[in-house]
Amino acid sequence: SPTEFAQERRAAASRLGLTVKDLAKAVHALRRQAFQEREAAERERLRGTAGAVIWPPGFRMEERGLVFLSDGDDSMPVLVSAPFAVLGESRTGAGQGWGLWLAWADRDGRQHRWAMQRRLLTTDPGVLEAELADGGLRIGATAEARALLRQALGEVETATRVTAVPRTGWHAPAGGAAGYMLADGTPIGATAEPLVLQNLAEDAARRVATAGTLAEWQEQVAALAVGNPVATFCLAAAFVGPLLEIAGEDGGGVHLFGPSKRGKTVAMRLAASVWGPHDKAGALRDWRTTANALEAACEEAADGLLTLDEIQQAEPRDVVGAIYAMGNGGGKGRLRADASARRRRTWRTFYLSNGEIDVATLAQKAGQRVPPGAEVRLPSVPLPADLWPELHGRPDFQALCADLATAANRQHGTAARDFLAQLARIRAEAPEELPATIAEHRAAFLAAHVPAGADPQVREVARRLALVAAAGEIAAELGVVPWPKEAATDAAATVLSLWRARRGGDGSGEEAAHLAKVRLFLVQHGASRLQPIWLNPTTNELEEVLDPARPVVNRAGWRRMPNGSDLYLIHLATWRAEVCEGLDAAEVARTLAAAGHLEPGEGKNLARRVAIPGLGKIRVYTIRASLMSLADQEGLSG
């Protein structure tokens, strides 16, 4: 009884020469020492156990959660948080960014995993706790509980190591085989250490979500691309991203443009369905976005596919810079609030773009022109009117599109995961196989479809399209897409021919721009600002042909027909100020002369001396009508 216990305690204290209070303190100290010794022994035992988690003294992870006992088993436990697991200690491949890989279930039973950086333990109270609370982990409401949580996370030990990666794509931890990190934090492939994604985007899980089976996607989506070159090309392009690192290539893309209601977005949605849902909340994105958001999208699609819909919605003054940024593979440098440098976003991705206009037309709205370098990074490909020649038994194009949209809603995201798993296996078992296969496919494509002597810019675009062909052929060989051999190669060749036909040949982009600039001036002003002149057979002198109904205003030059073919005579001042505005006028003249569209003067002079009525002999640039005939050929071929 309590009375008997009190009597025994007084007697024991008397025998030891202590007061009852001192005896109680001594007993408590002995019990606390025993508790600490047991905990220390248990921690020492766990240090030799693989995968063990060693909590600091006083902390226990129980079924109800993390608790803290300040004075051993006799103390009142403090409930710090709901239960969670420490899966390992994380750091980057360079040994930076140390943290903990945590896992827990929220109150709905949904599983969460988070790579907590240890630097958060040094931030103001509430920052770390807010991250955990946002994921549904219950944390004690008192300041004591929050302080104890930080102490536990700061002192917990585990021998398990994981490699933290800052972005999606391929990573090879501990110098071993490479694995692929999906945007939702799912690692693919057997790696020397587990991979964990440090920064998980809020909507990442939705963008790479799966539905249906691979077999259903193959039958209901991929099979319907056969016989439709542009659709086949877009699907093949969806597999390029994971091959960029393997092939030693930087990122790049293709822009497909044409009038509305031709099925551009449908083809783009097919490509998006390889990775996830094909809507704007899923794998399909808009051009209408900020520069910062575009950088985030590029990094989230690293070693993958970035789809950008409706380029006409983009801000015209930003589009050229965006093209360079996407191709450069890195975002702007930025600072944290404490003036330290933030991690710079990096990526290597393949991007598909579409819209009703080409890149150059959009840039012109902002008074810009597209440099040849930007055209190479994102070549604009005009789409043919018969974009979907094979309807696969459907009565019309609209019915085919409706079936494809329904199928892609139900089946998506499985193809990329299967493709990545097979690539990871091949990279681990035979590291040289994939680079050799890609090189073989690309070499065959270039040999068959790029003429000798083509400009380096043409070859660069062709090399990218050859990689699309290789990606599609490899996906078919691995059984990811149900296509016959050479289907992807033929589709890429079709896209290349469309681009070359619109470009006007295989010369450099600068030369093509020079020809287009002069041609445009003649088309716009040839009849209104060039004064017709003719050689009077009686006087053997050049005379103006005057037409009161169509007087020439603001004259820029003259036009004559010596042999039934026009010659356009442009005054030197007009040539420099208007015809070649924004360009090197002398270089433009040299381009036309080299192409045979300009009649040069004597010696090294590109301008000829011509007798002009009322002015005598003056120097003019003499443009042949062949320049306009080239425009007719482009219109027919495009």
Cα-based distances in Å from 627 to 115, 181, 512, 558, 621: 62, 52, 11, 16, 13
Residues 6+ apart with CB under 8 A from 295: 325, 331, 332, 345
Q: Which residue has the tokens 């404490």?
A: 338
Residue 179 near residue 188 (C-beta atoms within 8 A): yes
3-state secondary structure of 363: helix
Residue 624 structure tokens: 């042949």
Closest CA to 466 of 443, 450, 442: 442
- 3-state helix, strand and coil shares in percent for the chain, rounded to the nearest 5: 45, 20, 35
Res 240 pLDDT > 90: yes
Most confidently predicted of 154-158, 234-238, 456-460, 591-595: 234-238
C-alpha–C-alpha distance, residues 531 and 567, integer Å:
11
Of the listed ranges 218-222, 289-293, 447-451, the least confidently predicted one is 289-293
Res 635 pLDDT > 50: no
Confidence at 16, pLDDT banded by 50, 70, 90: confident
Confidence at 35, pLDDT banded by 50, 70, 90: low
Torsion of CA 262, 631, 460, 596, to 10 degrees: 170
Cα-based distances in Å from 600 to 45, 164, 443, 610: 92, 65, 40, 11
Rounded to 5 degrees, what are φ and ψ at 90? -110, 150
Beta bridge partners of 352: 254, 307
Residues 6+ apart with CB under 8 A from 394: 400, 403
Residue 542 near residue 589 (C-beta atoms within 8 A): no
Residue 529 near residue 552 (C-beta atoms within 8 A): yes
What's 330's DSSP letter? B
The CB-side HSE value for 106 (13 A sphere, CA atoms) comes to: 11
Residue 418 sits at the vertex; the CA angle it makes with 417 and 419, to the nearest 5 degrees, is 90
Q: How many CB atoms lie within 10 A of CB 10?
A: 13
Residue 91 structure tokens: 């750091």
569-608 residue pLDDT tens: 999 999 999 999 888 899 999 999 988 999 999 998 999 9
Confidence at 633, pLDDT banded by 50, 70, 90: very low
Residue 460 structure tokens: 């660069």
C-alpha–C-alpha distance, residues 269 and 234, integer Å:
9
Res 393 pLDDT > 90: yes
Q: Which residue has the tokens 């976005």?
A: 289
Stretch 11-20: mean pLDDT, rounded?
78
pLDDT at 636: 33
Share of the chain above pLDDT 70, in %: 91
Say what the pTM is. Answer: 0.79
Question: What is the domain partition of the chain in residue ranges?
Answer: 2-46, 53-165, 206-503, 509-637
Most confidently predicted of 186-200, 461-475, 515-529: 461-475
Mean pLDDT of the chain: 88
**Element spanning 86, H or E:** strand 85-91
Question: Which contacts of 614-618 are long-range, i.e. CB under 8 A and separated by 24 or more positions?
Answer: 614/544, 618/571
Q: How many CB atoms lie within 10 A of CB 16?
A: 11
What's 381's DSSP letter? E
pLDDT at 634: 43
Torsion of CA 141, 145, 149, 155, to 10 degrees: 170
C-alpha–C-alpha distance, residues 359 and 379, integer Å:
8
Residue 600 near residue 624 (C-beta atoms within 8 A): no
Confidence at 495, pLDDT banded by 50, 70, 90: very high
C-alpha–C-alpha distance, residues 388 and 221, integer Å:
14
